[in-house]
Structure 1
Amino acid sequence: MAVHAMHGQMDYNLDSKQGKMLEDRLDSGVDSLKDETLMIEDFKDLTVRCKEETTEEWEPWRDAVTEDGDTLLHLAIIHEAIEHVLQMIQLSRNHSFLNKQNHQRQTALHLAVITEQPKLVDCLLKAGADPLLADNSGNTALHIACKRGSMACFGVITQNCQRHLTSVLSVPNYSGHNCLHLASINGYVSLVESLVQLGANINEQEPCSGRTALHLAVDLQNPTLVRCLLDLGAEVNCQNYGGFTPYHLTYGRQNDEIRCQLYERTALELRALPESESDDSDMEDLELLEDENYGNNFYANP
């Protein structure tokens, strides 16, 4: 199956992106990717009737599913059979068929984002696809767009979800990450900017550790993203659940640019590491160097 060149990508290596797309496709549970001939036969056997021939609400092709729970619409999207996809969407406007989930709980909308087909994303949303449905990792279609760095799909989803954009932007996945967290973790600066401009809470804390996007940017040692978040108004004195500010996460790390960006902005009383009765997980959270004197030396010579 030919993999089309992907458009609207950013801050990402194309070869690794294509590999990730294939990995995500396989994550859908569609074993058909290993045997495309079988799926081609499915398309031949389950032909969608033309609109003028359709007189019933029930259509047999809507009930056809693979052993992985994929509908004919899922398969057509995966195989980029655009004509079949558009025909099924046209015949199923505002029908529950558009929101059927496979065994990975992926809808057609999820798969359209994974395969980087923004035009199909737009068609699905306009026909009644639900953007808030989550897969078995708790990811909505917008989560996936932010995780993959797909500005094209991101733009289409947000433009079609104006009425409940706040919910779409803020809902966390099962790891506690919202769209801003995922864009930050993966280093997509342009997406981070767009999310904040659309109203995403820049200081939202992930429920597991209480880290904000700025904590994550420091933890990932991404100076460009740190600078971007600071320019957008991220709160430098926000503490995670262990009592650590983003500046504390620079201890034991070598990026002077990040350290300098945060030092002057952090409140004086929050620059030193807090006296902690924490367990080992807090120390792992900071990833301190084994040299116990490093932190004190660094504080004395910021």
Structure 2
Amino acid sequence: MDVHRAGMMNFQDCDMDEMDMKNRKMQHFEERVDSGVDSLKEDEYMKIVEEIEILRFEDPIANPKGTCESWTQEVTEDGDTYLHLAIIHEAEDYAIQIIKQCQNDPFLNRQNNQRQTALHLAVITEQPHMVDRLLKAGCDPQLVDQSGNTALHIACKRGLLACFSVLTQIETQHLHSILSFPNYSGHTCLHIAAVNNYLSMVESLVQLGADVNAKEQCSGRTSLHLAVDLQNLDLVHTLIALGADVNCLTYGGYTPYHLTFGRQNSEIQRQLYNRTAQELRAMPESESEESDEERSSDEDCMYDDIQFCGR
């Protein structure tokens, strides 16, 4: 197989109609998980089908160390391995054979050009049973894609409860690390679930040990601050019930209550006013306003010097 060929392999149980349907389905995903199957000529496509059909897997019992064959080095121009492609096309039988052959092998954690592992793709394509197999075979749930998202971040973003359930049953040490890990936008799994209004996930994440007062890294807002930004009363109530600190400050010194000013939902403002410490209810002084005043004062002095020739 030409490792640089732009193409997506098909599998014995996936005919052309199924492939077309799945390609249309994948277009709705924010992450690109295809490798250009539409660009293949018919003869190139059929050649790939033949190659996968003659692929032979050794008996994993005869290969106890889990060392994979040379075919594990073959990738498309998008960096997709046979395992990536099997999962993308939901060719479960082939994916299972590959996973069995490569138990605890680094191959299972290979990342494509978008740094997606097979585990990321199994979540994106909503295959919780495959997520379970990959985790049990040794896939690392802490690996991140090009946006800094673990597989759990993606499940929280899409509201995929079945995949979420499987991913949160992993080892406690790994789970604690993942729950506290921000993606490259500075958001933890809890922030993502909150922003997307998946209340059951928010509750589960906190119960699993996620810090309800964790600050996103851009401005230091907690999930409660974000709930106020979204004017989401149900989310505000949920977070408060889970122990969110209403007196927590952003990097600029703002409580969630401060963010209610100029917003339409008076009930959110009332709820937070009653819970916010009295000394924190007043808006903090704005450094930008002070800077403007100082700048204006300096400009007046300069103008006076010019007007009166320094007298």
TM (norm. structure 2) is: 0.79
1:159 & 1:41 partners in 2: Cα distance?
41
Cα drift, residue 60 of structure 1 = 3.0
Deviates more, 1:269-278 or 1:43-52: 43-52
Cα drift, residue 256 of structure 1 = 2.0
Kindly tell me: are residues 199 and 43 of structure 1, through their superposed partners in 2, closer, same or farther at Cα, counting changes over 3 Å? farther
Cα drift, residue 158 of structure 1 = 1.1
Kindly tell me: are residues 256 and 53 of structure 1, through their superposed partners in 2, closer, same or farther at Cα, counting changes over 3 Å? closer
Kindly tell me: are residues 25 and 233 of structure 1, through their superposed partners in 2, closer, same or farther at Cα, counting changes over 3 Å? closer
Deviates more, 1:33-42 or 1:209-218: 33-42
The one-letter code matched in structure 2 to 1:68 is D
Which residue of structure 2 aligns with residue 42 of structure 1? 48
Which residue of structure 1 aligns with residue 307 of structure 2? none
Contact kept in structure 2, 1:118 and 1:156, CA below 8 Å: yes
Are 1:174 and 2:181 an aligned pair? no
Deviates more, 1:263-272 or 1:179-188: 263-272
1:274 & 1:40 partners in 2: Cα distance?
67
Which residue of structure 1 aligns with residue 267 of structure 2? 257
Cα drift, residue 257 of structure 1 = 2.4
Q: Which runs of 5+ in 1 are unaligned?
A: 5-17, 281-302
Q: Which runs of 5+ in 2 are unaligned?
A: 1-18, 291-311
SS of the equivalent of 2:191 reads helix
SS of the equivalent of 2:71 reads helix
2:200 & 2:280 partners in 1: Cα distance?
30
Question: In terms of Rg, which structure is larger?
Answer: 2
Cα drift, residue 249 of structure 1 = 0.8
Deviates more, 1:176-185 or 1:42-51: 42-51
Kindly tell me: are residues 28 and 52 of structure 1, through their superposed partners in 2, closer, same or farther at Cα, counting changes over 3 Å? closer
Kindly tell me: are residues 214 and 25 of structure 1, through their superposed partners in 2, closer, same or farther at Cα, counting changes over 3 Å? closer
Cα drift, residue 258 of structure 1 = 1.6
> Within 5 Å, which residues of 2 pair with 1:1-302?
1=19, 2-3=21-22, 22-24=27-29, 27-28=32-33, 30-32=35-37, 41-47=47-53, 48-52=55-59, 57-278=67-288
Contact kept in structure 2, 1:263 and 1:271, CA below 8 Å: yes
- Cα shift readout 1:248-291 (whole Å, capped 9, x = no counterpart): 111111012222221111112222211211379xxxxxxxxxxx
SS of the equivalent of 1:190 reads helix
TM (norm. structure 1) is: 0.81
Number of residue-to-residue matches in the alignment = 266
Cα drift, residue 25 of structure 1 = 6.4
The one-letter code matched in structure 1 to 2:147 is S
Q: Which of structures 1 and 2 has the larger relative contact order (alpha carbons within 8 angstroms, sep 6+)?
A: 1
Contact kept in structure 2, 1:126 and 1:160, CA below 8 Å: no
What is the root-mean-square deviation in Å for CA atoms of aligned residues? Answer: 2.5
1:89 & 1:22 partners in 2: Cα distance?
26
The one-letter code matched in structure 1 to 2:32 is D
Cα drift, residue 61 of structure 1 = 2.4
